[in-house]
Each structure stands twice: as C-alpha cells, then as structure tokens.
C-alpha cells in the first residue's frame, strides 16, 4: 500500500470530516416519539429484569413465574387472577389500552452493571415501556436511576433498603415492597410483647448499604421502647462462617441477637447461632432470643429447622387471609403447583398496578402513569388495603410479623403469621431522617421526549 503523506491541508480536511461525522447523529437526533418507546403497533412490551443467575436466582425465577401469570391475566387468558378482586375495575382483560401485552426477560445477575445493561437492551432494542422486578437494593437503585434517565417506568422488585424510596427516590420509580424502617416499626411492639422492654440487643450486620439501613432502623425502634444496643458488629458480605462472630455474643451480656443478614448470609449466621445453642441459653435471667428482621420463604427453606421460633417480618405471605390473596394463591397454585413467594406476589401486583395506571391515565406516557399511581389507594391484590404515597412513591400497607413454625406440615408453611401490623403503625414522614431528610426529592418525571 502506498504511503499516505500528511500535510496541513490534508489534516485539516480529515479533521473536519471526522468532526462532521461525529456531529451527524446529533443533527438528526430524536425522532417522532412523544415519549420513550411509544407503542405504535398492536402490542405493548414490558421488561422483566430479574436475577436468573447468582445468589438470588431462586427468587428471580419465582418473580418471572408471577410476571408471566400477570401477563396472562392482563391478556384475558387463564382465570383472570386478581383482576377479579382488584378494586380498580379499569382493566378489562384485553391487554392494556387495547394492546396485547408482550414481554421480554433479562438477567440482572444481581449486579448493578449487568442489571443496567439488561434493562438498557430492553429499552433500546426491544422497546420496553416499563421495567419490573429484580432483587437487591443496589440493583434497584441502579436500574431506577437508569429508567429515570431513559424515560420509562420502573417498578422495583425485592428491595428492602430505605434508600430506594429514601435518598435515592426517583419520579419514574415505584416500590411495592416494604422497607427496613417498616420492618423495625412492625417488629418493635411484638418484640416488646414477647421479650419485655429491658432487653440488651447484639447486632450482626451485613456490611453494606442494606445492612446498615436495617440495623439503623431496628436499633432506633428498639431503643425507643427501652432496649439497649450492646454492640453492632459488621460482617463482610462474603462471609460463610459466622462462628467467630457468635462467640463474643455470649460474653457481651446481651440477651437478644439481631441478624441483619439476608439470603445465604442469614442462613449461615442463623445456623451458626443455633450450633452454639444460643436459643437454650439464659442470660440476665431471661431466655436468649434471636431476631431476623427480614424473612423470605427461600431463606426459611435454606435454614430448615433452625428458624423454629425465630421472629422476623415479611411483605406478604400466601397464608394471608383476604380475597385478593386467596385468588392469587389459587391462580398461582393451579398454574405452577406451589404457593407464591413474597417476591412473586410483589412482582405480580406491580405488573397489574402498572397496567391499571395506564388504563386510568389513558396513555403509556410515563408522566401520565406516574400521575395515576401517585396517591393511588386500592385493595384486592393480596396485601389488603394499600396506597402509593405521592411524596416518595413508597407503597404503604400492612406489614406481617412472622415466626418460624414449630410444627410445619408441608415445605410451604415453615413460617406462621404472628401479627398483621396495621399501616398506620409503620407510616413515617416522607422527610424522615432515615430517608434522606428534607433534601431527598423525587425530581420531575421524565418521559424521554
């Protein structure tokens, strides 16, 4: 190949050409959409972004099942599920706004990066108007930020940290799940009733964002009723053996152990605590107790017999006795042969809520949907009376306090409901200091136009 000779003139010319090339996309940028991914055909696409690999893969799988069920019900297939019990009657079982509901799925891998990549491909490639699901608060916050920028609606899945609707709240994002503050508020009275008000608590806390917010919330609620927090030990997230953290508990004079752990961490730390026979010890003349503030069915299954008698809180449990819940458990059970989990119900409800909001707003435009969902009160999706607060897009509903059952009859009733804590008791001000204080704002809704 002949040598190219560079001279000033040539250089300027080529620079100009490159510059023009770079500027090209902006000249033609932004097209005829009124908002991001406005559905123009006869279908509308929803994006179901859940962990399919990694530590929360089981929860992700359950979420997917529930979301598929929701799509069936929206399209008028199956038995209609909670469309029958939902107090808002806008949904007709003919899709959303007459368009058939299609969906795409992706794998978050429980990593913020992968989750964002997957959500982006749904938005950029598949034209999804809404992203639903996921596990872990880090992922929820990351994807929520992305959806805000892109101009689509985000419905968080399993996310329990205060930050999701606290300091990281976004106008385009909604959370159906409860949060650490609510867990603490619901647990405190039950703990007081069962254990008295002069307990000494020792916290083991997973050393990351969610762990801290939960520890903070639990400590605040229990101290308010007279408990003393003896110590809070942060444990690395990757720990699998907690024996070395359990030994000091016995010597600390504490008589309650609070495990601010989730998933595999909780299974291991609880098992270690049981191996040390903590539950049969007497300290300060009282029986030693263990509390696991956030429970899930999968953790209960993982911990097996160890959870017997251990108290915790949940967002939803299939044993809940209301019309919506019964209907949902029936539909889910008939289709998949098992009762739905906490995360399944959350994601199912969110899909229906989104669809309903579109119907009521008469558009898929995110800003219309946001308006329809803000301050929306309803019943019949399984949690009893529920409302979405305008100020922070957090959902408010009853919180369940549960206990590991002493004599479970099947693999699915390992947890029993101790108390249904009414909404008023877990409600807080939107500018609560644990939720980012007065600086935290939703910003304005972004439709991507």
Binding interface with other proteins (CB under 8 A): 1, 3-4, 21-31, 52-53, 57, 61, 64, 68, 103-107, 111-114, 116-118, 120-121, 124-125, 136-138, 141-142, 145-146, 149, 163, 168, 207-210, 212, 234, 236-238, 439, 441, 443
Using alpha carbons, select from 123, 168, 176 the residue that is nearest to residue 147.
123
Q: Which is nearer to other proteins, 43 or 319 (CB)?
A: 43
Residue 221 tokens read as: 């609620």
Q: How far is the CB of 16 from other proteins (least distance, A)?
A: 16
Please give the Cα distance from 433 to 363 (Å, whole number): 36
HSE at residue 401, side-chain half, CA atoms within 13 A, is 25
Q: Which is nearer to other proteins, 8 or 125 (CB)?
A: 125
Q: Which is nearer to other proteins, 140 or 283 (CB)?
A: 140
Q: How far is the CB of 262 from other proteins (least distance, A)?
A: 11
Q: What is the CA radius of gyration of the chain?
A: 24
Residue 220 tokens read as: 């605040």
Where does 394-445 show beta strands of DSSP type E?
Answer: 395-396, 399-404, 415-421
Please give the Cα distance from 75 to 98 (Å, whole number): 9
Q: How far is the CB of 116 from other proteins (least distance, A)?
A: 6
Q: Which is nearer to other proteins, 33 or 276 (CB)?
A: 33
Q: How far is the CB of 25 from other proteins (least distance, A)?
A: 4
What is the residue whose two structure tokens read 């495990």? 259
List 100's β-bridge partners, or say none. Answer: 43
Q: Which is nearer to other proteins, 165 or 414 (CB)?
A: 165
Vertex 25: Cα angle to 445 and 31 (nearest 5): 45
What is the residue whose two structure tokens read 């916290």? 203
Backbone phi and psi for residue 151, each to the nearest 5 degrees, phi listed first: 85, 40
Q: Which is nearer to other proteins, 113 or 241 (CB)?
A: 113
Q: Which residues of 153-167 are buried (b: 16+ CB within 10 A; e: fewer)?
A: bbbbbbbbbbbbbbb
Q: How far is CA 170 from the centre of its chain?
A: 15
Q: Which is nearer to other proteins, 237 or 417 (CB)?
A: 237
Q: Which is nearer to other proteins, 53 or 243 (CB)?
A: 53
Q: With contact defined as beta carbons under 8 Å apart, do 155 and 174 qualify?
A: yes
Q: How far is the CB of 255 from other proteins (least distance, A)?
A: 28
Q: How far is the CB of 202 from other proteins (least distance, A)?
A: 20
Q: How far is the CB of 207 from other proteins (least distance, A)?
A: 4
Please give the Cα distance from 144 to 150 (Å, whole number): 10
Q: Which is nearer to other proteins, 179 or 306 (CB)?
A: 179
Q: With contact defined as beta carbons under 8 Å apart, do 322 and 382 qualify?
A: yes
Q: How far is the CB of 241 from other proteins (least distance, A)?
A: 16
Please give the Cα distance from 223 to 51 (Å, whole number): 36
Residue 36's SS3 state is coil
Q: How far is the CB of 325 from other proteins (least distance, A)?
A: 27
């Amino acid at each position: 190949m002949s040598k190219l000779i560079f001279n000033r003139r040539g250089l300027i010319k080529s620079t100009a050409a490159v510059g023009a090339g770079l500027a090209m996309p902006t000249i033609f940028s932004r097209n005829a959409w009124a908002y991001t991914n406005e559905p123009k055909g006869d279908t509308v696409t929803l994006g179901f972004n859940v962990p399919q690999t990694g530590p929360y893969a089981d929860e992700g799988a359950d979420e997917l099942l529930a979301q598929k069920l929701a799509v069936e019900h929206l399209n008028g297939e199956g038995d209609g599920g909670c469309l029958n019990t939902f107090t808002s009657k806008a949904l007709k079982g003919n899709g959303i706004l007459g368009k058939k509901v299609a969906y795409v799925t992706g794998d978050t891998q429980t990593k913020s990066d992968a989750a964002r990549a997957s959500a982006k491909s749904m938005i950029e490639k598949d034209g999804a108007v809404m992203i639903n699901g996921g596990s872990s608060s880090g992922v929820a916050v990351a994807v929520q930020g992305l959806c805000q920028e892109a101009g689509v609606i985000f419905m968080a899945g399993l996310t329990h940290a205060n930050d999701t609707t606290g300091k990281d709240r976004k106008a385009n994002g909604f959370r159906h799940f409860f949060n650490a503050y609510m867990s603490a508020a619901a647990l405190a009275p039950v703990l007081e009733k069962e254990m008295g008000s002069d307990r000494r608590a020792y916290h083991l806390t997973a050393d990351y964002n969610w762990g801290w917010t939960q520890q903070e919330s639990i400590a605040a609620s229990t101290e308010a009723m007279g408990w003393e927090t003896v110590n809070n030990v942060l444990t690395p997230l990757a720990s699998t053996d907690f024996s070395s953290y359990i030994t000091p508990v016995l010597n600390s004079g504490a008589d309650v152990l609070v495990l601010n752990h989730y998933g595999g961490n909780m299974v291991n730390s609880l098992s270690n605590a049981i191996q040390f026979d903590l539950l049969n010890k007497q300290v300060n003349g009282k029986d030693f107790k263990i509390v696991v503030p956030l429970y899930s069915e999968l953790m209960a299954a993982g911990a097996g017999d160890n959870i017997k008698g251990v108290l915790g809180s949940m967002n939803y449990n299939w044993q809940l006795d209301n019309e919506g819940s019964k209907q949902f458990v029936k539909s889910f059970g008939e289709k998949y042969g098992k009762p739905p989990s906490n995360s399944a119900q959350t994601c199912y409800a969110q899909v229906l809520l989104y669809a309903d909001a579109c119907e009521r707003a008469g558009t898929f435009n995110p800003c219309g949907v946001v308006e329809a969902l803000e301050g929306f009160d309803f019943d019949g999706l399984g949690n009893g009376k529920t409302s979405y607060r305008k100020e922070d897009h957090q959902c408010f509903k009853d919180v369940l306090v549960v206990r590991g059952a002493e004599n479970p009859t099947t693999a699915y009733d390992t947890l029993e409901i101790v108390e249904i804590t009414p909404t008023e008791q877990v409600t807080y001000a939107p500018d609560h200091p644990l939720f980012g204080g007065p600086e935290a704002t939703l910003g304005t809704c972004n439709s991507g136009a």
